[in-house]
């Protein structure tokens, strides 16, 4: 992750150590993806939190018990609105209160009494249970810098508490004195599927699921100069693991492993073919996740302000419990409409074509899925699938039977005007995708895209207006 501060960031003069950290970037091995939820435990004035938000994090939750530092933190995060949340409490093994020893705005406040530093003051602060915060926010990334409180906090965890996490950064204080505790923490993280990707004195970055995969990647890369052979080993390993996945939790962990390995392949420059095969493995797992989500029972509630009327877990509640964002679930479900063999075939064909020159990303997958849907599903079938997903997620009492409005929409697609709108929408979208493909290959098509993009929007809005006009008409 890039560690940089925007113009106007409030950095106390006493925080001279942070200026040195900005040059060294202790978070360089930490991977923050767009859409991630991040916990910043020991946020201080927000240097890490702001960097994570600039990296694309959807939400950063900051814990800072010291009032003076928190006032600066609030000013630094004000521009990010609801994406940044500040909790005025110290993280501890249990809820309650604790005495915070204060060293001033230079940092180093701690709820663990220091034997070496002279305390300038103290105040009683609220504490919140670390386990409860992990279950509440389900973060993908954790940064923990709490001045010797990390040992008690991490010792309170159980293995399942770590399930949502993909990347962890821990600053260990007084590491020599706590060598045995650090060894125990490292063993627990290893048992939970994490690998230490960049050990530095007193600081440690961990990523889930890359241990064996990185070993395979390194061994294969050293034993052969053939990138395709390295890529084949990677994909074969993931196919074996994917076949054994039976739960959402297992599949999500495998997805995180594939993404971590893709990032590792990119940063270690082991070759574009290997990088694209790691990306292909990730997208195959996401396709499987879409299939699993489509089979989940849609229990009543919650949604649109309605209360849950059953003890069963709602669909949205299940997503939250698994640490899956709604937009991700929606995207994976759409990909799952394409049969797995065809989905794999399209991406492998891409890897053997465009993939020889550039990296595979989700936009390439979107385009191929949309083209398949246009070729194999009528707009009525696609609209019906979209409605089923939305209603099953949002309605408190979901019934699979179509409503009167939905029956009228289905009938509209069968009319001549509906079929003409289908042709217009398909043609405009295909032209837009073709121009974007040329643009990514370096062609100068900005002027053409400036004309086509509004055309696609115009066709879509015209189609919706035509349907609304039909719905407004009185029924016979």
**Closest by Cα among 95, 97, 60, 66 to 79:** 60
CB burial of 273-296 (b: ≥16 within 10 Å; e: otherwise) equals: bbbbbbbbbbbbbbbbbbebbbee
Q: Please, what sign has the CA dihedral across residues 142, 143, 145, 146?
A: negative
Same domain, 354 and 442: no
Per the structure block, which two tokens stand in for 125? 């602060």
Host domain of residue 152: 16-95+128-208
CB–CB of 15/68 below 8 Å?
no
165 in any annotated domain = yes
- pLDDT of the residue at 280: 86
User: Which CA distances in Å does 193 have to 187, 196, 208, 441, 446?
Assistant: 10, 10, 5, 39, 46
Q: Count structural domains, the chain.
A: 3
Per the structure block, which two tokens stand in for 414? 């069968």
- pLDDT of the residue at 302: 41
- pLDDT of the residue at 300: 47
Asked which of 401, 432, 466 is the last residue of a domain, the reply is: 401
CB–CB of 288/249 below 8 Å?
no
2 in any annotated domain = no
Residue 156 burial (CB count, 10 A): 14
Cα separation of 312 and 87, whole Å?
Answer: 31
Cα separation of 200 and 374, whole Å?
Answer: 51
222 in any annotated domain = yes
Name the DSSP letter for residue 377. S
Name the DSSP letter for residue 281. H
- pLDDT of the residue at 48: 93
306 in any annotated domain = yes
CB burial of 395-419 (b: ≥16 within 10 Å; e: otherwise) equals: bbebeeeeeeeeeebbebbeeeebe
Asked which of 401, 432, 458 is the last residue of a domain, the reply is: 401
CB–CB of 326/138 below 8 Å?
no
Cα separation of 106 and 128, whole Å?
Answer: 24
Any residues with CB less than 8 A from the CB of 182 and at least 6 apart, and which?
172, 175
User: Can the peptide bond before residue 302 be classed as cis, meaning omega within 30 degrees of 0?
Assistant: yes
Cα separation of 394 and 300, whole Å?
Answer: 9
Same domain, 202 and 217: no
pTM flag (> 0.85): no
Same domain, 186 and 275: no
Tell me if residue 303 falls in helix, strand or coil. Answer: strand
Q: Please, what sign has the CA dihedral across residues 162, 164, 167, 173?
A: negative
320 in any annotated domain = yes
Per the structure block, which two tokens stand in for 17? 């150590």
Cα separation of 324 and 252, whole Å?
Answer: 8
Which residues pair with residue 97 across a beta bridge?
A: 126
Same domain, 336 and 435: no
Same domain, 64 and 176: yes
Same domain, 57 and 154: yes
Asked which of 208, 235, 262 is the last residue of a domain, the reply is: 208
Same domain, 244 and 329: yes
269 in any annotated domain = yes
Same domain, 224 and 320: yes
CB–CB of 113/24 below 8 Å?
no
33 in any annotated domain = yes
Same domain, 27 and 167: yes
Cα separation of 206 and 447, whole Å?
Answer: 46
355 in any annotated domain = yes
Pairing outcome for strands 121-129 and 96-102: antiparallel
Same domain, 238 and 353: yes
- pLDDT of the residue at 132: 93
**Phi, psi of 225, rounded to the nearest 5 degrees:** -95, 0
Pairing outcome for strands 141-144 and 194-200: unpaired
- pLDDT of the residue at 249: 78
- Could you tell me what percentage of the chain is helix, strand and coil, using 3-state DSSP and rounding each to the nearest 5? 55, 10, 30
**Closest by Cα among 84, 78, 76, 77 to 58:** 84
Same domain, 389 and 448: no
Question: Alpha helices of 269-378 — where are they, by DSSP H?
Answer: 272-295, 315-322, 326-335, 340-352, 362-376
**Phi, psi of 82, rounded to the nearest 5 degrees:** -70, -15
Name the DSSP letter for residue 306. B
Same domain, 425 and 461: yes
pLDDT (tens digit, 0 to 9) for every residue of the chain, 476 residues total? 787 788 888 877 766 666 667 767 788 778 888 888 999 999 999 999 999 999 889 999 999 999 988 999 999 999 999 999 999 999 999 999 999 988 755 567 888 887 666 677 888 999 999 999 998 998 989 999 998 899 999 999 887 788 778 889 999 988 888 889 988 898 888 777 787 876 667 788 888 755 445 545 555 444 445 555 555 566 666 777 777 788 887 888 788 777 777 766 776 666 777 778 888 888 999 999 998 888 776 544 444 334 444 444 567 777 777 767 778 888 898 899 899 999 988 888 888 876 677 888 888 888 888 888 877 877 667 777 777 777 666 554 555 566 777 777 777 777 888 888 878 887 887 788 788 778 767 788 888 888 888 888 888 888 878 777 766 655 44
Cα separation of 247 and 268, whole Å?
Answer: 31
């Amino acid at each position: 992750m890039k560690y940089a501060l925007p113009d106007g960031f409030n950095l106390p003069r006493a925080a001279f150590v942070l200026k040195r950290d900005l040059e060294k970037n202790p978070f360089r091995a930490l991977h923050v993806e767009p859409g991630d939820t991040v916990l910043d435990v020991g946020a201080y004035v927000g240097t890490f939190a702001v960097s994570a938000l600039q990296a694309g994090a959807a939400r950063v939750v900051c814990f800072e018990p010291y009032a003076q530092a928190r006032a600066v933190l609030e000013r630094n995060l004000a521009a990010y609105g609801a994406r940044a949340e500040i909790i005025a409490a110290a993280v501890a093994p249990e809820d309650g209160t604790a005495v915070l020893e204060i060293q001033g705005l230079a940092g180093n406040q701690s709820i663990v009494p220091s034997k070496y530093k002279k305390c300038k003051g103290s105040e009683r602060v609220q504490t919140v249970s670390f386990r409860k915060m992990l279950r509440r926010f389900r973060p993908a990334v954790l940064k923990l810098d709490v001045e010797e409180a990390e040992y008690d906090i991490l010792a309170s965890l159980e293995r399942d508490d770590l399930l949502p996490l993909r990347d962890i950064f821990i600053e260990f204080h007084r590491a020599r004195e706590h060598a045995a505790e650090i060894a125990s923490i490292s063993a627990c993280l290893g048992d939970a599927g994490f690998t230490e990707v960049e050990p530095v004195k007193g600081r440690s970055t961990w990523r889930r699921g890359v241990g064996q995969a990185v070993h395979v990647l390194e061994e294969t890369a050293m034993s052969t100069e053939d990138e395709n052979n390295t890529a084949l080993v990677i994909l074969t390993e993931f196919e074996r693991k994917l076949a054994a996945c039976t739960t959402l939790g297992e599949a999500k962990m495998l997805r995180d492993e594939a993404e971590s390995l893709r990032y590792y392949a990119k940063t270690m420059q082991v070759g574009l073919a290997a990088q694209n095969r790691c990306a292909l493995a990730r997208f195959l797992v996401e396709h499987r996740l879409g299939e699993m989500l489509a089979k989940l029972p849609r229990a009543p509630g919650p949604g649109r302000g309605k209360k849950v009327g059953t003890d069963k877990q709602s669909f949205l509640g299940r997503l939250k419990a698994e640490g899956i964002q709604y937009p991700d679930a929606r995207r994976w479900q759409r990909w799952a409409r394409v049969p797995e063999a065809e989905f794999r075939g399209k991406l492998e064909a891409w890897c053997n074509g465009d993939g020889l020159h550039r990296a595979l990303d989700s936009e390439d997958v979107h385009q191929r899925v949309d083209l398949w849907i246009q070729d194999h599903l009528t707009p009525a079938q696609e609209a019906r699938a979209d409605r089923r997903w939305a209603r099953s997620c949002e309605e408190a009492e979901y019934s699979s039977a179509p409503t009167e409005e939905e029956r009228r929409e289905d009938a509209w697609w069968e009319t001549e005007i509906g079929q003409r709108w289908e042709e217009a929408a398909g043609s405009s979208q295909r032209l837009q995708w073709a121009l974007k493909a040329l643009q990514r290959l370096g062609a100068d098509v900005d002027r053409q895209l400036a004309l086509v993009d509004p055309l696609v929007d115009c066709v879509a809005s015209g189609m919706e207006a035509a349907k609304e006009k039909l719905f407004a008409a009185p029924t016979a």
